[in-house]
Amino acid sequence: MKKHIFLLVLALIVAFSAGQLGYAQTSYAKTITIDQPNTVKSITEFAEEDFSTTESIFTRVLVKNGMVFEVEIPSHYTNIEKQYGPFTIFTGANGKTRLRFTGAGGFSCSYETVVGGVTEDRRIAGHVNYYGVLQLGASATSATQDAPTKIAVVSPDDARIGQVIGGFHYVSENYVLSMSNKAFTASEWRASLEHPENFVLLQENIYSLDLASILSSVKVQIPEVQNKFRLKVFFGDDSTNVLNDGLGTPGGISHQTITLKDERTVQYTLTTESHHPTWGTAQPATKTVNAGTEVTLQATPKTGYRFVGWAVGTPSFIVANDNPYQPAINENVRFIAVFEPLPLQITANSNNTAWGSVSPESQTLNAGQTAKVTATPVAPHKFKHWINTATQAVVSTQAEYSFTVNENSSLTAVFEQGVSTYKVTAKSNNTAWGGVSPESQTLNAGQTAKVTATPVAPHKFKHWVNTATQAVVSTQAEYSFTVNENSSLTAVFEEGVFTYKVTAKSNNTAWGSVSPENQTLNAGQTAKVTATPVAPHKFKHWINTATQAVVSTQAEYSFTVNENSSLTAVFEEGVFTYKVTAKSNNTAWGGVSPENQTLNAGQTAKVTATPVAPHKFKHWINTATQAVVSTQAEYSFTVNENSSLTAVFEQGVSTYKVTAKSNNTAWGSVSPENQTLNAGKTAKVTATPVAPHKFKHWVNTATQAVVSTQAEYSFTVNEEISLTAVFEEGVSTYKVTAKSNNTAWGSVSPENQTLNAGQTAKVTATPVAPHKFKHWINTATQAVVSTQAEYSFTVNENSSLTAVFEEGVFTYNVTAKSNNTAWGSVSPESQTLNAGQTAKVTATPVAPHKFKHWINTATQAVVSTQAEYSFTVNENSSLTAVFEEGVSTYKVTAKSDNTAWGSVSPENQTLNAGQTAKVTATPVAPHKFKHWINTATQAVVSTQAEYSFTVNKEISLTAVFEEVILLDPNAVLPHLTGLDTAVLKTGTPQTFVWEDMPQNATNFKATLIDMSNASAVTALVSTIDATQAQLEFAKAGTFTLMIHFEVLGVSYTVSYDGIVVK
């Protein structure tokens, strides 16, 4: 904790004239200073001018610290104008006008007067600016709690030390310098050495600062300051009059300068510690010293470790490597002694480099880190175990061996010799049934052998067997396996069968039959079976009798024979239907429904008898036997035969009154108006409209339900009823007729309409192609009434219209297509031509296919044998170009770009067009296959060693192999040029070029180890390839940099120890 004893010296401006406040004078006739709050000035104190004869004369008003003040204006000043800035105009208690100012601004006021017979324009103008005065006061913490206090703020013109703002003698760092911010829109706090004028910005737009903040900022911004400096504070009042402070800053700016002197005695606390106490110690532990005192620091590493340097704050921020170290203490500080383990060497080698290699061969690691070594055998040799080179003791049987480092170690990877090559032979059990390829191969142990068995039709491949043991090794015709011994394989083929039996049967012979039931056919012939259902049963589908799988839903099923087959025709049971009829014994007494039904056996039939009042239903009887079957009017029963039923009704008698009336006797009348009829009799009423009114309908007077839309309404009487004939008021009607100017060119519809006045008439003109509709005309006047084929208008008179059509030209479509687009194309595929023009179509075959002839697509008739066919168009035509299939053969050759690096097979093939060619490239280890190229064009066609493609032309392919050069494990590892001597800095990318790095190196990765704590860190951004490495360090310190990479799957590591990053 710092302990401060300060002396602050204040240089205070006491007088506040414009010049002393930093203003550049701009011709003011008078200056008024206001330093008391709520001051009221009379306008008479301002300079007055005759504005009509002189230039503007201004009065400057300087106001302290944003104090509010007022200007009182006598009543004879009639014009008051605001130039800019905030003020308000109001009437004071004495009735006089006042201006109240709350910020910087400008104003004017004027009046006219007559002097010696001459009119003068008398005017007063003023500019208001605010100046700032700093105030010093105690903070919330009392000054008595900060003793001893040695800070003073004094005027440079005052010889007495301690003449301070506010009457204080000495103050503490908690005291605050402040200003009023009511009238200031901007502020700047600047500082400089005691005498120079180059002030440095500390803060801006802040209206108070404690002395501690000021002293702290000055120490950062002006490090050469010892204990005395000047502080200048600028105040901006945001005025727009022409002012500056002599520094080129526009606007109303004032400033105040004070001098601060710091006479405090400062003490700081020093502590030291070890970042890893088990690796070393640091002295002294804790100490309090005066500022500037030099202290001796001593770091003592323990056995197995070494001292790295002194760090401040964190172990990664090393500031010195001296031991002992004597820093001057000018702040509270914590020094950390940083240690690291001594590096240990780990080496690895192979007992026979021809049998296997190791990586890495050398590592430098810190004690406690994990070392990893990897042994990679060269086929066919094998890794056995790792041994301690010195003691010959076995330490691991794992090829990848990891262990904790605690001493220098030398390891040897022990490899055992393997067998190099094996022979693989293949043969057929019957060469007439099938062949094998290749018949003989010599391969290295671990390589993949592939043999292919090809059957001769109709024989079939069964499986591969080990010739010696006869054990089945694969059921795949193309068999691949890893070679680890000499092998002899036999492809076993089965004899093919040429004829097959096809049998067919029915799942139920009562429901349907099949034919034929037995057939014997050659393989590849077409078998046909037919299923015939017995009505009412139905055919469902054919199934494979053995698997029950559905093979066809067609009753007549045809298929190609390639095995013995048994088929079953599946039939579904049909359903028998019966007729049910019903009738009435007297239709005047009652009706039945339905009269006829057709139902499936077992369904339920329902009949209903409905009597006509006053008659009654008696019972249902079987029409044939006259037996009563039900006394219910609604009778339901199960159908199992054709049935005829009769509903028996009994006669009944009743009489009823029927009355009729008109809804409006002026629009129509009814007759008869009254009737009395027996039940069951027919009543008839007639409604007669008075023209032009119309009858609408009859309604039931009581319910208002519509009972008929016929003017003469007849119905059966079964109750008393009152009817009303509803008439509608009539409307005048007009006739609209339409006709065509030429019926061969077009028609109209409708030709006749009768419509009420006000209704919309619509007529439509339809041209006969190729003729065209032109317009509608009024037949009588020949005036055009519409150019729309569909013309609608409101009817208000009888009208006659004529549709005018224009003669057109006939056009026809001619289309052409190919019977097989793979064999040939046609052009054009579509044409639209006028009648009489000549159409031309051309057929172009795709080699090796051939054009045969053109046919009419609809009739299939041959119309031309010429590939280019022309004819006169007189109808729509569709033509088909018939092509015949042709066959071409092509040669496919393959070769290696370097037979020492790899071979190809087969080298020559002759295939039909459309067949698939396959070529295989086999690299010789350690070389690698790269890609296949077209020998002629050098274009890459595949990156797969086994490349298959469809043959459509002769082609020559070249397999391109890449030479592979392994990194010699006994040679010097690649290294980055200049990394050992470079000055490494944080935050700056630095690029280093590889020397001796193979260009086929891949999978680069960098690891950075902090040697201060033997841990991996992520403070490194790297971009590395086989040419260069770009490294950017994010933190300072001493590190081990390890760069890992691979060459053909073998891992290597380049290590740099003790690199220093600043």
How do residues 796-824 score in pLDDT, each as one tens digit? 899 999 999 998 888 889 999 999 999 99
Q: Is the pLDDT of residue 982 over 90?
A: no
Range of 116-125, 413-422, 771-780 with top mean pLDDT: 771-780
Nearest to 580 by CA among 565, 590, 594: 594
Q: How many domains does the chain have?
A: 11
**Residue 192 and residue 70 share a domain:** no
Q: What is the mean pLDDT of residues 936-943?
A: 94
Range of the domain at 760: 733-806
For residues 1016 and 519, which has the higher predicted lDDT (pLDDT)?
A: 519
**Residue 66 and residue 166 share a domain:** no
Angle at 990 between CA 985 and CA 996, to 5 degrees: 130
- Residue 314 counted as domain residue: yes
Contact 957, 919 (CB under 8 A): yes
Q: What is the mean pLDDT of residues 548-576?
A: 93
How far apart CA 546 and CA 966 sit, in angstroms, is 63
398 phi/psi in degrees, rounded to 5: -95, 135
159 confidence band (pLDDT: 50, 70, 90): very low
How do residues 365-420 score in pLDDT, each as one tens digit? 877 789 999 999 988 789 999 999 999 999 999 999 999 887 889 999 999 987 67
| Residue at token pair 């309090």 | 288
Q: Is the pLDDT of residue 663 over 90?
A: yes
**Residue 120 and residue 40 share a domain:** yes
Domain end call among 773, 806, 839: 806
- Residue 18 counted as domain residue: no
How far apart CA 972 and CA 994 sit, in angstroms, is 13
How far apart CA 63 and CA 70 sit, in angstroms, is 11
Output the six-digit token pair for 428: 């057929």
- Residue 841 counted as domain residue: no
**Residue 412 and residue 429 share a domain:** no
**Residue 617 and residue 686 share a domain:** no
For residues 574 and 543, which has the higher predicted lDDT (pLDDT)?
A: 543
Give the distance between the most distant pair of CA atoms in the chain: 154
Q: Which helix (H) or strand (E) holds 215?
A: helix 211-221
3-state secondary structure 978-1013: CCCCCCECECCCEEEEEECCCCCEEEEEEEEEECCC
Stretch among 730-739, 921-930, 1030-1039 having the lowest mean pLDDT: 1030-1039
Question: Looking at beta carbons, which pairs linking 360-363 to residues 24 or more positions away fall under 8 Å?
Answer: 360/1051, 360/1052, 360/1053, 361/969, 362/1055, 363/1053, 363/1055
First to last CA, the chain: 29
How far apart CA 986 and CA 989 sit, in angstroms, is 8
3-state secondary structure 236-272: ECCCCCCCECCCCCECCEEEEEEEEEECCCCEEEEEE
How far apart CA 923 and CA 899 sit, in angstroms, is 9
- Residue 599 counted as domain residue: yes
Q: What is the mean pLDDT of residues 923-935?
A: 91
Q: Which helix (H) or strand (E) holds 794?
A: strand 790-794
How far apart CA 401 and CA 388 sit, in angstroms, is 12
Q: What is the mean pLDDT of residues 565-581?
A: 92
Strand order in the sheet with 946-950: 902-905, 916-923, 946-950
How far apart CA 1047 and CA 996 sit, in angstroms, is 13
Question: What letter represents residue 396's amino acid?
Answer: S
Stretch among 43-52, 157-166, 1050-1059 having the lowest mean pLDDT: 157-166
For residues 455 and 225, which has the higher predicted lDDT (pLDDT)?
A: 455
Q: Is the pLDDT of residue 243 over 60?
A: no
935 confidence band (pLDDT: 50, 70, 90): very high
For residues 337 and 156, which has the higher predicted lDDT (pLDDT)?
A: 337
The pLDDT assigned to 476 comes to 96
Contact 979, 992 (CB under 8 A): yes
**Residue 171 and residue 235 share a domain:** yes
Q: Which helix (H) or strand (E) holds 221?
A: helix 211-221
**Residue 169 and residue 66 share a domain:** no
Coil, strand or helix at 132 = coil
**Residue 166 and residue 59 share a domain:** no
**Residue 277 and residue 173 share a domain:** no
Cβ count within 10 A of residue 969: 17
Range of 305-314, 545-554, 1000-1009, 1049-1058 with top mean pLDDT: 545-554
* β 733-740/799-806 pair status: parallel
pTM above 0.75, yes or no: no
For residues 177 and 875, which has the higher predicted lDDT (pLDDT)?
A: 875
Q: What is the mean pLDDT of residues 998-1005?
A: 84
| Residue at token pair 């500082």 | 191
% pLDDT > 70, the chain: 86
**Residue 447 and residue 405 share a domain:** no
How far apart CA 863 and CA 869 sit, in angstroms, is 9
The pLDDT assigned to 828 comes to 97
The pLDDT assigned to 695 comes to 94
Stretch among 43-57, 565-579, 882-896 having the lowest mean pLDDT: 43-57
Q: How many CA atoms lie within 13 A of 389 on its CB side?
A: 12
Domain end call among 463, 494, 525: 494
How do residues 592-601 score in pLDDT, each as one tens digit? 999 999 998 8
For residues 870 and 654, which has the higher predicted lDDT (pLDDT)?
A: 870
- Residue 843 counted as domain residue: no
Q: Is the pLDDT of residue 168 over 70?
A: no
Coil, strand or helix at 552 = strand
Question: What letter represents residue 218's amino acid?
Answer: V
What is the length of the chain?
1062
Output the six-digit token pair for 735: 């006739």
The gap from C-alpha 236 to its chain's centroid, in whole angstroms, comes to: 54
Angle at 93 between CA 90 and CA 97, to 5 degrees: 35
Q: Is the pLDDT of residue 981 over 50?
A: yes
| Residue at token pair 């902090």 | 1010
**Residue 260 and residue 145 share a domain:** yes
- Residue 328 counted as domain residue: yes
For residues 555 and 251, which has the higher predicted lDDT (pLDDT)?
A: 555
- Residue 968 counted as domain residue: no
For residues 199 and 751, which has the higher predicted lDDT (pLDDT)?
A: 751
How far apart CA 422 and CA 440 sit, in angstroms, is 11
For residues 28 and 507, which has the higher predicted lDDT (pLDDT)?
A: 507
Coil, strand or helix at 144 = helix
- Residue 9 counted as domain residue: no
470 phi/psi in degrees, rounded to 5: 60, 15
Q: CA torsion 323→329→334→337, rounded to 10°? A: 0
The pLDDT assigned to 685 comes to 96
Nearest to 378 by CA among 359, 354, 397: 354
How far apart CA 786 and CA 791 sit, in angstroms, is 7
Distances (CA, A) of 694 to 686, 687, 691, 724, 765: 13, 10, 7, 14, 33
- Mean residue pLDDT of the chain comes to 84
Domain end call among 214, 243, 265: 265
**Residue 741 and residue 638 share a domain:** no
